A = this chain, B = another copy of it.
């Protein structure tokens, strides 16, 4: 199902980082469906962060959004990554047909969202609005717990989800074809490898299905082309996934 031929999709997300916008970008890139990355246009052409600010201040149609990413589709301004992807997934050919299977994909996407929020809070455990340098001591403590307990728990969960999808021999998270949850899983894994090279590297051998999923997504022609293009922003320390060596400890029980 691809109903997107005549639709104009406008993504609004802070320029300069992959962030939560990247989960939306990857879906459009894989589908080969055009979208305007509005904030990356020059302000003279209606771009810049000011374009996002206007929607947050209520100048758009429909429901007032709380935070980017935002996707403007006609008279709708959608917010929340999982909500955006649930809406566009079927239109981009990246969601299953049945209501039950769509609920499963949505469920995984929401679990990825929780995972991402925990990753973010490893470097911002006290105050989302203050600099990392103001909360480094707490960040070390939170990151140590994350690396030892939460990181392996989330990753082994997703590995188990793949293992249980025997119909697809573990090649996809849900059903027998690629969904937006697979793309988001890829994005999560690449981010984790960037932010926690030691901790993630130690866990990776115990995650053969996730590693294979990641490699397969990375090799898909449209994704590979996107990743090699200037549109794909590099990882950096203003993003969700940040490489702060002091937060990347080896898991305490790595040989258990």
Q: Chain A: residues with CB nearer than 8 A to chain B? A: 58, 62-66, 75-76, 78-80, 82-83, 86-87, 99-100, 103-104, 106-108, 110-111, 114, 117, 121, 125-130, 135, 138, 141-142, 145, 149-150, 154, 157, 160-161, 164, 174
Are B157 and A66 in contact, with the CB atoms below 8 A?
Answer: yes
For the residues of A in contact with B, the DSSP-based class is: helix
A104 CB contacts on chain B under 8 angstroms: 62-63
Closest to A82 in B: B110
Distance, CA A224 to CA B24, complexed state (A) = 41
A82 CB contacts on chain B under 8 angstroms: 82, 110
A58 CB contacts on chain B under 8 angstroms: 160, 164
Contact of A65 among B64, B86, B107, B125 (CB under 8 A): B107
Are A76 and B64 in contact, with the CB atoms below 8 A?
Answer: no
Closest to A79 in B: B107
Known: A66-B157, A138-B138, A164-B64. A126 touches B110 (CB 8 A): no
Are A78 and B107 in contact, with the CB atoms below 8 A?
Answer: yes
CB distance from A245 to the nearest CB of B (A): 20
Are A87 and B63 in contact, with the CB atoms below 8 A?
Answer: no
Contact of A83 among B63, B106, B154 (CB under 8 A): B106
Are B130 and A145 in contact, with the CB atoms below 8 A?
Answer: yes
A79 CB contacts on chain B under 8 angstroms: 107, 111
CB distance from A170 to the nearest CB of B (A): 13
CB distance from A171 to the nearest CB of B (A): 16
CB distance from A167 to the nearest CB of B (A): 12
Are B127 and A103 in contact, with the CB atoms below 8 A?
Answer: no
Are B125 and A125 in contact, with the CB atoms below 8 A?
Answer: yes
Distance, CA A110 to CA B76, complexed state (A) = 17
Distance, CA A150 to CA B127, complexed state (A) = 9
